[in-house]
Amino acid sequence: MPSPPLRAVFMGSPEFAVPSLEVVQRCCDLRVVVCQPDRPAGRGRLLAAPAVKLAALMAGLPVIQPEKMKDGTLLAALAAYELDVAIVVAFGRILPVDLLALPRLGCINVHASLLPRWRGAAPIQRAILAGDRETGVSIMQMDAGLDTGPVFRVVNTAIDELETQGELFARLSMLGAAALATFLGEFPEVPEPTAQPADGIVLAPPLRKDEGRVDWARGVREVVDHVRGMDPWPTATCQRGDELIKLFAARPSSREPQGRPVGAVIAVDDSGLHVAVGDGGVCIAEVQPPGKRRMSARAYAAGRAFAAGERLG
């Protein structure tokens, strides 16, 4: 006789976690969903619900949005569900020790990196910014540390040299959900998780908006990685006169700098805006001036031509 499905709580907030939510709904007796509170978003700063909340409500699932994690309110609410397991995916909050111990089989986390590399809030962005050529997802048993728990299994994937943060987010979201589905099909009859090694630990703090500014003195590969790692947020930027221009779709340029200083415009053609950098040139295919839509660099230059050798800040 098959075992009854695991009584589960799902904890997650952004769009990244929605495919995993759907997996838990299929594989478990999903009793409740926990996500962050609604937050102001957009230009109007109107309250917006997390993507996980919207998906959960569409599925008819109860949703809890705790303002605090340590006052005992959430713990008491979840205790009523007699949980076997908690599945945590991009929840965005630290779980207190008493909550970690509440489910009979503990808390399982799907983390978007090859642990112990890139522990923390922004593993996808930091992997691209660092020029990593491989990443993946790790399924781990949570403990009181920041992504420090033992790992059940990992799934590796190559990072394309022009893949943006947003594109990798979407891919790892689906990869993590697929890995979770396989794992839950076997759990809890799985091998014990393996402790993370003491070496190779790298932290992934959240991105700050001021990290977007491009440093043209860096090398071609570094500048390209910076632009794609900042897309779609906070976006790479440069200064042109009194305007802060957003930059997208960077790639190594086919044009030689011909002795131009870093930040100098080499040319503008159908492939984009070519700019001199520390060891060559970078081509920026798309830009977004203040208050305007995102457009091709060629279209932008048609309205506001670049002077020969003009330097960008």
CATH number at residue 52: 3.40.50.170
Q: Which of 203, 218, 235 is the last residue of a domain?
A: 203
Q: What is the DSSP string of 24-57?
A: HHHHSEEEEEE-PPPEEETTTTEEE--HHHHHHH
Percent residues over pLDDT 70 in the chain: 99
State the pLDDT confidence band at 288, using cuts at 50, 70 and 90.
Answer: very high
Lowest mean pLDDT among 56-65, 127-136, 299-308: 299-308
Average pLDDT across the chain, whole number: 96
User: Into how many domains does the chain fold?
Assistant: 2
pLDDT at 300: 97
Decide if 313 is inside a domain: no
Same domain, yes or no: 46 and 155: yes
Question: How many Å apart are CA 236 and CA 53, to the nearest integer?
Answer: 30
Residue 286, domain extent: 209-303
User: What is the per-residue pLDDT for 176?
Assistant: 98
Does 1 have pLDDT greater than 70?
no
* Same domain, yes or no: 94 and 237: no
Average confidence (pLDDT) over 263-283: 97
